[in-house]
Amino acid sequence: MPQFQYEAKKGPGAPVRGVIEAENQRAAISRLRDMGFFPLRVEESIEKQAKDTLRDALSRIRLKERNLFLRQLANLCESGMMITRALRTLVEQTENPKLAKVIDQLRDDVQKGSSLADAMERHPDLFPPMYSNLVRAGETGGMLEEVLWRICAFGEQEEELRGKAVSAMVYPAFLTAIGSIAIFILVSFVFPKFVTIFEEFNAELPLPTRMVMGFCDFMGAWWWAVLIVFAVLGTALARHARTDTGRRRLDGFLLRVPVIRTVIVKYEMAKFARTLGTLMDNGVPILTSIKITADTMGNRLIRDEVSQIHIGITEGESLSECLRRRQYFTPMVVSMFAVGEESGRVGAVAKRVADAYDIEVDRAVKAMAALFEPLLIVVMGVIVGFLVIAMLLPMLTLSSTIGA
């Protein structure tokens, strides 16, 4: 339990100082008053603040932990427990200290009279606008438990889709890392020893060997500088990618790579359809739903396309007409949404589109991984093979000379 340093008066005497444990600052003040003190200053312990700051910096809230919290909250609310009591229970049960702190802030805000949706809006990094808008619709319509279950289903489907993409790329990334490390060790530490042997014989060396020797000499002397340059370039590129301009350039480049483009477009279409369908099924107006959906798009260029859809609907166009004029929406998606508009079931149709694209994303990711794996093996094999042959050629020449 948090500790608070206090300064308080009791009667005409001098102020007293001490430390008290309480759930929050307000509870600490209440306890002091119950003890007959008049609080002058109540602050969280500096040591505790420092520990919390370090702990928060080292910890992060994973998507799986957020989904588990929402599922537990839905279970507690469905059992009839008051929202404040449910949040207090989850604070005690949550192992991630950063998430527990957020839940405690939610509980404190709700206790002060805020709605759960408004409390969630104060944590946009954890609860995107879609979640807070759905919760607001559930609170207004008196169906908070049902909405929480729908959010849980949405979050778990998103987690599953992202997990498939990540797991499919683990092996290619592992191959790339191991191959790069092996080449770096060979060029920087192993081959330079062969270079010394060749120099002692003063033999005429083949061109591939001379090229590798020059590269080995450079890496043997300046390998640390190469690592620094790569680290600096990597950091600079990562920072540039965090800017709006850099992110747009990166997103545009990825959409120009054929295989990667297929995966990104299908992934974003699945997210678009599922987000829009979930929002509209819970009574969120279409303009608000489109605006929130645009914010959930990961690729900036596709996000701009969805924003243009919002503008088109504002000007009186139908959703299917707006989709038809956009670059990344396939005829199948346009036709499905047109059918949904005619039947008045856009939300349900959007979810079916999302289910179809989930399957397409899984297939596209597997196809990309199946293409990258042999390609990486071939590239690494060619590089390593060239290095080995370049070192073996002069050894064969020297052995024939010595034998003669």
Average pLDDT over residues 112-124: 86
pLDDT score, position 232: 92
What are the residues facing 16 on neighbouring strands?
8
3-class DSSP assignment, residue 21: strand
Q: Please say if the pLDDT value at position 403 is more than 70.
A: no
Q: Please say if the pLDDT value at position 206 is more than 80.
A: no
* Domain spans in the chain, listed from the N-terminal domain onward: 3-55, 61-155, 156-404
Looking at residue 62, the DSSP 8-state letter turns out to be -
**Residue in 229, 151, 148, 217 with CA at minimum distance from that of residue 187:** 217
Taking CA atoms, 247 is separated from 70, 156, 237, 308, 352, in Å, by 31, 27, 10, 19, 31
pLDDT category at 203 given cuts 50, 70, 90 is low
Of the ranges 52-56, 211-215, 345-349, which one carries the lowest mean pLDDT score? 52-56
pLDDT category at 59 given cuts 50, 70, 90 is low
pLDDT category at 399 given cuts 50, 70, 90 is low
pLDDT category at 401 given cuts 50, 70, 90 is low
Architecture of domain 156-404: Up-down Bundle (1.20)
C-alpha to C-alpha distance for 373 and 174, rounded to whole angstroms: 10
Q: Please say if the pLDDT value at position 53 is more than 50.
A: no
Q: Please say if the pLDDT value at position 54 is more than 60.
A: no
3-class DSSP assignment, residue 175: helix
pLDDT score, position 113: 85
Same fold for the domain at 61-155 and the one at 156-404?
yes
pLDDT tens by residue, 61-73: 788 888 888 888 8
pLDDT tens by residue, 16-36: 777 777 767 777 787 878 777
How many other C-beta atoms are found inside a 10 Å radius of the C-beta of residue 14?
8
The CATH T-level fold of domain 61-155 is Receptor-associated Protein (1.20.81)
Overall pTM > 0.85: no
pLDDT score, position 335: 87
3-class DSSP assignment, residue 361: helix
Please check whether residue 322 is in contact with residue 277, taking contact to mean a CB–CB distance below 8 angstroms.
no
C-alpha to C-alpha distance for 133 and 116, rounded to whole angstroms: 10
pLDDT score, position 46: 54
Taking CA atoms, 151 is separated from 66, 165, 290, in Å, by 11, 21, 17
Q: Please say if the pLDDT value at position 404 is more than 50.
A: no
Q: Please say if the pLDDT value at position 201 is more than 80.
A: no
pLDDT score, position 160: 78
Average pLDDT over residues 157-167: 75
Residue of 298 and 58 predicted with greater confidence = 298
Average pLDDT, the chain: 80
C-alpha to C-alpha distance for 207 and 69, rounded to whole angstroms: 63
Average pLDDT over residues 94-98: 83
CB neighbour list of residue 269: distance below 8 Å, 6 or more residues apart: 328, 329, 330, 333, 353, 357
